[in-house]
Amino acid sequence: MTISIPEKTNSPIGNLQPKGWFRYFSFSLDHKVIGLQYLVCGFIFYLIGGALASAIRIELTSPISDFVPRDVYNQILTLHGTIMIFLWIVPVVNGAFGNYLIPFYVGARDMAFPRLNAIAFWMIPPAGLLLISSYFINGSAQSGWTAYPPLSITTPAAGQLIWILSVLLLGGSSIFGGVNFIATILKLRRPGLKLMQMPMYCWAMLGTSILIVLSTPVLAGTLILLSFDIVAHTGFFNPSLGGNAVVYQHLFWFYSHPAVYIMVLPAFGLVSEILPVHSRKPLFGYSTMVYSIMTIVVLGFLVWAHHMFTSGTPPWMRLFFTIATSFIAVPTGIKFFNWVATLWGGKITLNSAMLFSCGFIVNFVFGGITGVALAQVPFDIHVHDTYFVVAHFHYIVYGGSVFVIFSSIYHWYPKFTGRMLNENLGRFHFALTFIGFNLCFAPQHWLGLNGMPRRVAEYDPQFQFVNQLSSIGALIMAISTLPFLWNAIHSAFKGSIAGDNPWAALTPEWLTSSPPPVENWDGPAPLVTKPYGYGVQTKEAETQSGNEPAINGDN
């Protein structure tokens, strides 16, 4: 272990930032405040997106379209996809945890551009409200989150344009965030901290930010062209005016496939932080982990057309994208084996954070296996645009990213608030989520294989039973939010005091008080060169039960 602990100085740091609860509603420049703003804002949108998902599952309990009108159903599924991706997972895995943790991990007082950071966050609530309000104005977009033309050109223009505007704002926010992370990680590292000594989440965020900076602008440009098609009646993507609808698909997926990595790479990083702490072992294979992330970043740019195997793509293109996509499984596989090896021989505490992380591994392995299958052209031809694909990507983004978000909340909540979450409620939350999630999405693989396309309000009656099974799973997932909400709100006031470092963790965010002071450390920033140096002094006693702040009582 090489950590430098600063002497505690009691001089309060004077600055002009708002204090107290009000700072969470202000244009605060503190990266920790912005991180929590991202988290809470994202969670509110998660509840909205979840309500929309419930509406979809209620509609699908019967094979006829009876719960909502058909065009409203399409609006619901469009909003559900857009909200969950652009307002929940992307802002939370990047914005929330990135902003909170990255300055700690690189030993900085704040992000490189605090003002840009606050601007990036404050673009999100208006964009989200704009998107949702479009439903009440004139009906929101109804061409799916992919907004394929010519459908998106022919559906009511107002909703589609608001959708475009909203996604442009969110994309802009995401680019600002990406620029900020790259600058912070590469340029704001504490002197003495080498790149290969950074915690893994820094690498994940560096890779993610590269993806964001290089791919999001392409989406922005594409959506601008699409809005021209809608407003000015140009024919970029409109075949009846000489355009080409497939060009849109290429440009769209050039962003939207990397977007999947933008959602899961940070999750990989977060899991890499959580597993070593709770299994009391160093992260296995640090350097291979770093190389895997960077390989995934490079390959992530070369696989987009696997979403278009049925779009009349030429054979050579299909083959190239099959091979490139399959090979992403190699670096991803390495990461999973490394995580299992991190568990192996550890002293594992199976708390809520750990449960969600291990749930993530199991779910993601499943989603990864169906992903490799989907990468094969002949396999994809049958299941493309069916419930098999719906199930696959929910295993990736829900079973993957969302499980990690919950795991991270359980892990860092003591740092955020200075109080512990209730463990029993946490485990109950995990059990409900895991069972509900698998019950909801595992049967959907069968539905897709047997002939149920995605984005339909009505289906063949032979699928009713399995759909109802899936809806019950969705109901359990919806209920699982309740113990979590209660836990998160109640514990903020009544939870037991956490102390500075309840998990006896070694990464820098735990080497300060909980919650941390405005500029992260009262003294100089500590230099942590071995963030995973567990087991070096095994004789040292540690306590795991979060109820006793035995490690550090000076909070």
For the segment 139-178, give every residue that binds another protein (CB under 8 A).
142-144, 148, 150-151, 154-155, 175, 178
Among 157, 161, 348, 469, binds another protein (CB under 8 A): 348
Among 54, 109, 158, 497, binds another protein (CB under 8 A): 109
Among 107, 300, 400, 418, binds another protein (CB under 8 A): 107
For the segment 503-542, give every residue that binds another protein (CB under 8 A).
504, 510-511, 524-525, 527, 532-542
Q: Does 231 bind another protein (CB under 8 A)?
A: no
Query: Nearer to another protein by C-beta: 20 or 538?
Result: 538
**How far is Cα 95 from Cα 31, in angstroms, rounded to an integer?**
10
Query: Nearer to another protein by C-beta: 20 or 242?
Result: 242
Q: Which helix (H) or strand (E) holds 192?
A: none
- Per the CB < 8 A criterion, the answer to whether 289 and 203 are in contact is yes
Among 67, 320, 428, 446, binds another protein (CB under 8 A): 446
Among 40, 217, 294, 464, binds another protein (CB under 8 A): 217
Q: Does 15 bind another protein (CB under 8 A)?
A: no
CA angle, residues 193, 189, 4, in degrees to nearest 5: 50
- Per the CB < 8 A criterion, the answer to whether 221 and 251 are in contact is yes
Burial per residue of 346-379, b for 16 or more beta-carbon CB atoms within 10 angstroms, e otherwise: bebeebbbbbbbbbbbebbbbbbebbbebbebeb
- Per the CB < 8 A criterion, the answer to whether 554 and 502 are in contact is no
Query: Nearer to another protein by C-beta: 188 or 475?
Result: 188
Among 91, 346, 418, 436, binds another protein (CB under 8 A): 346
For the segment 249-288, give every residue that binds another protein (CB under 8 A).
250-251, 254, 279-288
Q: Least Å distance between CB 312 and another protein?
A: 4
Q: Within a 10 A sphere around the Cβ of 234, how many other Cβ atoms?
A: 16
Report which residue type is found at 282: P
Query: Nearer to another protein by C-beta: 19 or 233?
Result: 233
Query: Nearer to another protein by C-beta: 401 or 501?
Result: 501
Query: Nearer to another protein by C-beta: 54 or 234?
Result: 234
- Per the CB < 8 A criterion, the answer to whether 141 and 78 are in contact is yes
Residue 230 tokens, joined: 């809608």
Residue 123 tokens, joined: 């673009």
Q: Does 196 bind another protein (CB under 8 A)?
A: no
Query: Nearer to another protein by C-beta: 38 or 503?
Result: 503
- Per the CB < 8 A criterion, the answer to whether 359 and 339 are in contact is no
For the segment 20-49, give every residue that binds another protein (CB under 8 A).
none
Which is nearest to 166 in space by CA: 186, 188, 147? 147
Query: Nearer to another protein by C-beta: 438 or 491?
Result: 438
Query: Nearer to another protein by C-beta: 126 or 553?
Result: 553
Query: Nearer to another protein by C-beta: 41 or 299?
Result: 299
For the segment 351-390, give every residue that binds another protein (CB under 8 A).
358, 361-362, 365-366, 369-370, 372-373, 376-379, 381-382, 384-386
Report which residue type is found at 521: W
Instruction: Name beta bridge partners: 386.
Output: 453
Among 228, 302, 320, 427, binds another protein (CB under 8 A): 228
Q: Least Å distance between CB 540 and another protein?
A: 5
**How far is Cα 419 from Cα 422, in angstroms, rounded to an integer?**
10
List Cα–Cα distances, 344 to 119, 154, 474, 531, in angstroms: 43, 56, 33, 19
My answer on whether omega of the bond before 314 falls inside 30° of 0, hence cis, is no
Q: Does 74 bind another protein (CB under 8 A)?
A: yes
Among 61, 62, 197, 234, binds another protein (CB under 8 A): 234
Per-residue x/- track, 300-339, another protein (CB under 8 A): ----------xxx--x--xx--xx--xx-xx--xx-xxx-
Candidate segments 98-106, 409-417, 434-442, 544-552, binder of another protein by CB under 8 A: 544-552
Q: Does 216 bind another protein (CB under 8 A)?
A: yes
Report which residue type is found at 50: G
**How far is Cα 2 from Cα 532, in angstroms, rounded to an integer?**
11
431-435 contact pairs (CB < 8 A, 24+): 432/476, 432/477, 432/479, 432/480, 432/483, 433/356, 433/359, 433/403, 433/406, 433/477, 433/480, 434/355, 434/359, 435/473, 435/476
Q: Least Å distance between CB 319 and another protein?
A: 7
DSSP state at residue 5: P
Query: Nearer to another protein by C-beta: 134 or 444?
Result: 444
**How far is Cα 180 from Cα 388, in angstroms, rounded to an integer?**
37
Q: Does 225 bind another protein (CB under 8 A)?
A: yes
Q: Least Å distance between CB 305 and another protein?
A: 12
Which is nearest to 42 in space by CA: 408, 347, 364, 348? 408
The C-alpha R_g of the chain, in whole angstroms, comes to 23
Query: Nearer to another protein by C-beta: 100 or 387?
Result: 387
Report which residue type is found at 242: G
Report which residue type is found at 538: T
Among 99, 180, 401, 480, binds another protein (CB under 8 A): 180
Among 347, 424, 465, 489, binds another protein (CB under 8 A): 347
Query: Nearer to another protein by C-beta: 451 or 517?
Result: 451
- Per the CB < 8 A criterion, the answer to whether 8 and 522 are in contact is yes
Q: Least Å distance between CB 119 and another protein?
A: 13
Q: Does 9 bind another protein (CB under 8 A)?
A: no
Candidate segments 14-22, 194-202, 447-455, 472-480, binder of another protein by CB under 8 A: 447-455
